[in-house]
């Protein structure tokens, strides 16, 4: 039996797409296999082969021995939005919002914001893509501008990524596109944080960027737009960063154009497999990624990373959880606490967390509202130590009070960053604030 690729029917915001293939169907790389019903996106197979399983949530395709780079092209389209829709483009940064919807906005005096911040530590594939394909990313911005009638675009990118910035500068031919350099902080890449950084104004968590007269698109999404328009290529490949306890070195290793549906295990095996004992496999970045079962994980349109971490530190005591919208949610923190063998005695949220359509949102990402009450509450509930999920600024505030209350502090990204020998978030340096 050949290798099986799995295509989830919900790799985007909206309803799951509806399969249009049946078991036994032969498919060719690039062929449409599922259509959206309502809000959603088209799904194409990344491999040539045979459909072996169709369920409500996924389609499994057994790949032929021989695979090609070629693909079945999407139809000739009359507009950019149509091409984007046909290509099944969704936000590749993680959220998966269908891009054709965003591009229906009319931004007569507005802006396209290219979100090239890639603020999750360890992940590196967006910056790498820019270094390699700056021209195509810029063309993607141009298409987005054309589609929305925006006169101006900003590229938000961390100032530390000099090579990427230089690569972009080389390709920017006029002043309709401008680079905005961002500080190296988490969560600088959050949509509203980017808008705040550029325009100095906070959107309400319920507001969409359109209310600031702009559309925010991730690096890879922009690249995919260019692919759809120029090459009539559907979204069938994904860039991803693989890192951590791997036999061939911890990386981060960047893989460009991994066929969607590829088992994550294959990527791990490319680097020699897992090196010894491990803690979790985080799919996504350390902050917002989730630990997943290796055998159940496949590359999707929004996969960002696969990080194999060292085991979590054991703490067989009472643990308090501090949930934040910018990092892990309660479920994720409970998951980590269980792996630490800790007893969760209390959970609280950062007071900036608001729930919007079932997801936690922060009122002012990267701008702390104060944490002392939350820490005191957890202590009062009997927590001997706390596990936090805050952004850099909030973590700094927690560090200002918890140790004084004699409460040791874990951060939910510690084990991932310690795996990589990267600095963990705690207090911010005073001079940078």
Task: Identify the residue among 45, 124, 219, 348 touching another protein (CB under 8 A).
Answer: 124
Coil, strand, or helix at residue 390? coil
> If binding means CB under 8 A, how many residues of this protein chain bind another protein?
39
End-to-end alpha-carbon separation of the chain, Å?
A: 57
Structural tokens at position 186: 């988490």
CB of residue 329 to another protein, shortest distance in Å: 22
How far from chain centre, in Å, is Cα 35? 23
Instruction: Say what the alpha-carbon torsion angle 238, 243, 245, 250 is, to the nearest 10 degrees.
Output: 130
Task: Identify the residue among 2, 311, 369, 370 touching another protein (CB under 8 A).
Answer: 311
CA distance 412 to 320: 12
CB of residue 321 to another protein, shortest distance in Å: 15
CA distance 87 to 81: 10
CB of residue 409 to another protein, shortest distance in Å: 4
Site for another protein in 350-409 (CB under 8 A): 399, 402-403, 406-409
Using the contact rule CB under 8 A, the part of the chain among 24-32, 125-133, 146-154, 191-199 near another protein is 125-133
Using the contact rule CB under 8 A, the part of the chain among 21-29, 100-108, 252-260, 375-383 near another protein is 252-260
Residue 123 makes CB contacts below 8 A (sequence gap 6+) with: 241, 252, 285, 304, 305
Q: Is 81 in the site for another protein (CB under 8 A)?
A: no
Q: Is 312 in the site for another protein (CB under 8 A)?
A: yes
Q: Is 421 in the site for another protein (CB under 8 A)?
A: yes
Site for another protein in 268-297 (CB under 8 A): 270-271, 277
CA distance 75 to 83: 8
In the sheet with 237-244, reading across from the earlier edge strand, the strands are 253-259, 237-244, 305-308, 281-283, 290-291
One-character DSSP codes across 137-201: HHHHHHHHHHHHT-SEEEEEEETT-HHHHHHHHHH--STTEEEEEE-S-TTTTSHHHHHHHHHS-
Task: Identify the residue among 314, 355, 359, 373 touching another protein (CB under 8 A).
Answer: 314
CB of residue 186 to another protein, shortest distance in Å: 15
CB of residue 320 to another protein, shortest distance in Å: 14
CB of residue 411 to another protein, shortest distance in Å: 8
Binding site for another protein (CB under 8 A): 124, 128, 131-132, 248-257, 270-271, 277, 310-315, 399, 402-403, 406-410, 417-418, 421-424, 426-427
């Amino acid at each position: 039996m050949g290798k099986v690729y799995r295509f989830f029917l919900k790799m985007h915001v909206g309803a799951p797409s509806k399969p249009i293939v049946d078991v036994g169907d032969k498919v060719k790389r690039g062929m449409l296999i599922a259509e959206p019903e309502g809000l959603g996106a088209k799904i194409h197979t990344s491999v040539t082969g045979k459909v072996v399983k169709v369920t409500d949530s996924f389609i499994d395709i057994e790949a032929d021995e021989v695979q090609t780079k070629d693909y079945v092209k999407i139809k000739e389209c009359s507009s950019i939005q149509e091409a984007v829709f046909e290509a099944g483009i969704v936000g590749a940064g993680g959220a998966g919002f269908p891009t054709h919807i965003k591009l229906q906005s009319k931004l007569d005096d507005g802006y396209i914001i290219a979100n090239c911040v890639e603020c999750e530590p360890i992940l590196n594939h967006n910056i790498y893509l820019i270094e390699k394909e700056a021209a195509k990313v810029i063309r993607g911005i141009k298409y987005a501008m054309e589609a929305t009638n925006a006169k101006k675009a900003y590229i938000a990118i961390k100032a530390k990524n000099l090579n990427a910035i230089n690569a972009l500068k080389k390709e920017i031919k006029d002043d309709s596109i401008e680079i905005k350099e961002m500080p190296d902080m988490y969560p600088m890449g959050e949509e509203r944080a980017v808008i705040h950084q550029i325009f100095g104004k906070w959107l309400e968590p319920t507001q969409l960027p359109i209310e600031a007269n702009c559309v925010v698109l991730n690096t890879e999404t922009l690249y995919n737009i260019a692919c759809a328009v120029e090459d009539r290529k559907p979204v069938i490949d994904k860039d991803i960063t693989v890192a951590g306890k791997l036999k061939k070195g911890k990386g981060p290793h960047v893989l460009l154009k991994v066929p969607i549906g590829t088992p994550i295990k294959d990527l791990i095996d490319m680097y020699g497999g897992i090196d010894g004992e491990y803690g979790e496999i985080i799919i996504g970045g350390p902050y917002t990624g989730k630990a997943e079962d290796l055998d159940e994980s496949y590359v999707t349109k929004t996969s960002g990373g696969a990080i194999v971490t060292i085991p979590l530190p054991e703490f067989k005591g009472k643990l308090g959880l501090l949930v934040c919208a910018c990092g892990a949610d309660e479920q994720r923190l409970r998951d980590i606490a269980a792996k630490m063998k800790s007893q969760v005695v209390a959970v609280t949220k950062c007071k900036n967390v608001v729930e919007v359509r079932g997801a936690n949102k922060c009122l002012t990402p990267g701008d702390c509202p104060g944490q002392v009450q939350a820490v005191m509450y957890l202590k009062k509930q009997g927590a001997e130590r706390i596990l936090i999920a805050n952004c850099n600024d909030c973590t700094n505030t927690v560090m200002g009070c918890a140790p004084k209350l004699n409460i040791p502090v874990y951060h939910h990204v510690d084990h991932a960053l310690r795996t990589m020998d990267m600095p963990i978030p705690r207090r911010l340096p005073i001079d940078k604030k």
